Amino acid sequence: MSVFTGSGVAIVTPMHEDTTVNYEKLGEMLEEQIEQGTDSIIICGTTGEASTLSHEEHLETIRYTVERVAGRVPVIAGTGSNSTETAVYLSVEAEKYGADALLLVTPYYNKATQKGLKLHFETTARAVNIPCLLYNVPSRTGCTLLPETTAWLVNNVENIVGIKEASGNFSQIAKLMSLCGDKIELYSGNDDQIVPLLALGGRGVISVLANVAPRQTHEIVASWMEGDTERSKKLQLEAIDLIEALFCEVNPIPVKTALNLMGKEAGPLRAPLCEMEEKNLERLRRAMTEYGILA
């Protein structure tokens, strides 16, 4: 049950000034992403401010995205939660709306044990029939999904087919690939590590960078897959300063700010996220200018 190969954008959720979801702008962003070669849309992830969307908003945003994309590229819905019951509910509903796959983050705050992670992901995945990607991002969740646990899940739950790896721990990622090989679809969750992860057998990236540089992010992966590893490396390194600026404050503050600087009207952030510090804003503006996406 292959999900996608290439660049998947972890798309922002544009908002009106009153912080209600701006579906018109979301539609424009989805069209631009597809036109610029993005290979998959990841909706309602961390970058989409899913943690401050109500369940109703969360599911309506997934429904809208599925209908607007209309099968042109896969739509992966973020439906993870620190509550297994909630993750099951969101996942079942997202499947009903036509999502092609799900992205399931490790439970945050309550920090499950590895045994608990097996139970959580197995229960959630068995509640649906579409492919599921696990999401390992310990810097945000306080919880690490170990290679052995992931391997157990991939080998025992048919529709758990891949993982978004944002741990930055290449020793663990190499161990994971040694345990799973072709049984797992590996995606980078860190834009500054796309090429190294591809070298370990990765299929692509679930990207924040792609919000502002969709064509370039697609080309990093496409060049690698076509065998032009030098071009892939060159594109990766050219983007490093911009990537660092996009993470100089907690995601998605800088990327949503960047889209607004580009005139994309992504709108405000929901509290407790807030506007960037002035020195970081200038750093972001400078990086965008040097990269050529801001005049």
The number of angstroms, rounded, from the C-alpha of 243 to the middle of its chain's C-alpha atoms is 15
Q: How far apart are CA 36 and CA 245, in angstroms?
A: 22
Q: Which of 164, 256, 264, 291 is catalytic?
A: 164
Asked if 264 is an active-site residue, the reply is no
The number of angstroms, rounded, from the C-alpha of 6 to the middle of its chain's C-alpha atoms is 12
* Cβ-proximal residues to 108 (8 Å cutoff; 6+ apart), any chain: 82, 140, 141, 142, 143
Taking a C-beta distance cutoff of 8 angstroms, is the pair 10, 42 a contact?
yes
Taking a C-beta distance cutoff of 8 angstroms, is the pair 26, 13 a contact?
yes
Q: How far apart are the first and last CA of the chain?
A: 42
Q: How far apart are CA 178 and CA 227, in angstroms?
A: 22
Q: Which of 135, 187, 256, 264 is catalytic?
A: 135
Asked if 135 is an active-site residue, the reply is yes
Asked if omega into 254 is within 30° of 0 (cis), the reply is no
Work out the burial of residue 140: count CB atoms within 10 Å of its CB; fewer than 13 is exposed, 13-18 middle, 19 or more buried.
middle
Taking a C-beta distance cutoff of 8 angstroms, is the pair 89, 79 a contact?
no
H runs (alpha helix) in the chain: 23-35, 55-69, 84-97, 114-126, 138-141, 147-156, 170-180, 194-199, 214-225, 229-238, 240-246, 253-261, 278-291
Taking a C-beta distance cutoff of 8 angstroms, is the pair 13, 191 a contact?
no
Residues designated as active site: 135, 164
